[in-house]
Amino acid sequence: MDTNIAVERFLSSPALSDATRRAYAADLRDFSTWLRGEGLELDDLDVRTLAAYTAELGRARRGLAPTTIARRLSAVRSLARHALGPARVPDAALAPRRPRRLPETPALSEVESAVDAAAGRDGGPLALRNAALLELVYSCGLRSAEAVGLDLGDVDLDREHLHVRGKGNKERLVPVGEEAAWLLARWLRDGRPQLARGACDALFVSVRGNRLDTSVLRRLLPNPHRLRHAYATHLLEGGADLRTIQELLGHASLSTTQIYSHVDARRLRRVYDHAHPRS
């Protein structure tokens, strides 16, 4: 089996999202080049071959982070599953352990400044949209793709909740804060009608009336995912438990949410110091 052909067939699969296809393309072409340099093809893939490739990725001259190595190995396994079948996928745990650390979290004042800056001074439709978008991402802890994927029917301002479609098309209901509800109402009343074209159901639209893509969020805030981390951190600091945060974030496993556990530990220490007579 020609590895390059297998890679191109895999990347053209309709089962892949555009984002996954872009992320995997360079990784798999790098793997294909390495295989050819070793005189191998995809049919030769086994645990020893994958271990050798992992060692190559980990050499100092490459300087790759553990997360990057893990992503590349995931891409190779996905390719093997598609081209060779599940039985041929090496299942050894080869990726280096990734350090679990709390992502950098903006303070509330920084969030407020970002929303204020997005709102601008002219009160035009783009300013209304940008302020509502950023506030909603923070108020509901949304991923960028979740935010731009919202439809008009996903918003219930009367009940102040949001219907969100997350990873793997998993759905959840998330409460909407008063500030976000107010900005959304202004956008829907005064901003969106000026930009919407045709029958587009997207909640947030571009100047041409099309659904936004995530690049708009990145222009407003270089790393919009930090707002999601701020959402989780501020809820924990305010007294919410990890299980509740897990549901609100749409994490499939509590272990993913536990990256915030040392924030929760600090909160519990404050409660203990305040409440226990021997503290």
Q: Residue 104, SS3? A: coil
User: Which among 167, 218, 262, 266 is annotated as catalytic?
Assistant: 167
| Residue 143 is a catalytic residue | yes
Nearest CA to 157 among 132, 184, 129, 127?
184
Alpha-carbon torsion, ordered 81, 83, 88, 91, to 10 deg: -30
Sequence-separated (6 or more) residues with CB below 8 Å from residue 110: none
Token match 């080869």: residue? 94
φ, ψ (nearest 5 deg) of residue 12: -90, 0
| Residue 260 is a catalytic residue | yes
| Residue 161 is a catalytic residue | no
User: Which among 82, 143, 226, 234 is annotated as catalytic?
Assistant: 143
User: Which among 129, 228, 229, 234 is annotated as catalytic?
Assistant: 228
Residue 112 corresponds to which amino acid?
E
Sequence-separated (6 or more) residues with CB below 8 Å from residue 49: 35, 38, 40, 90
User: Which among 77, 186, 225, 267 is annotated as catalytic?
Assistant: 225
For the beta carbon of residue 185, count every other beta carbon within 10 angstroms: 13
| Residue 228 is a catalytic residue | yes
CA distance 196 to 216: 17
What is the number of alpha carbons within 13 Å of residue 160 lying toward its C-beta?
Answer: 10
| Residue 251 is a catalytic residue | yes
| Residue 163 is a catalytic residue | no
Q: With b meaning 16 or more CB within 10 Å and e meaning fewer, what string describes 130-161?
A: bbbbbbbbbbbbbbbebbbbbeeebbeeeeeb
The catalytic site residues sit at 143, 167, 225, 228, 251, 260
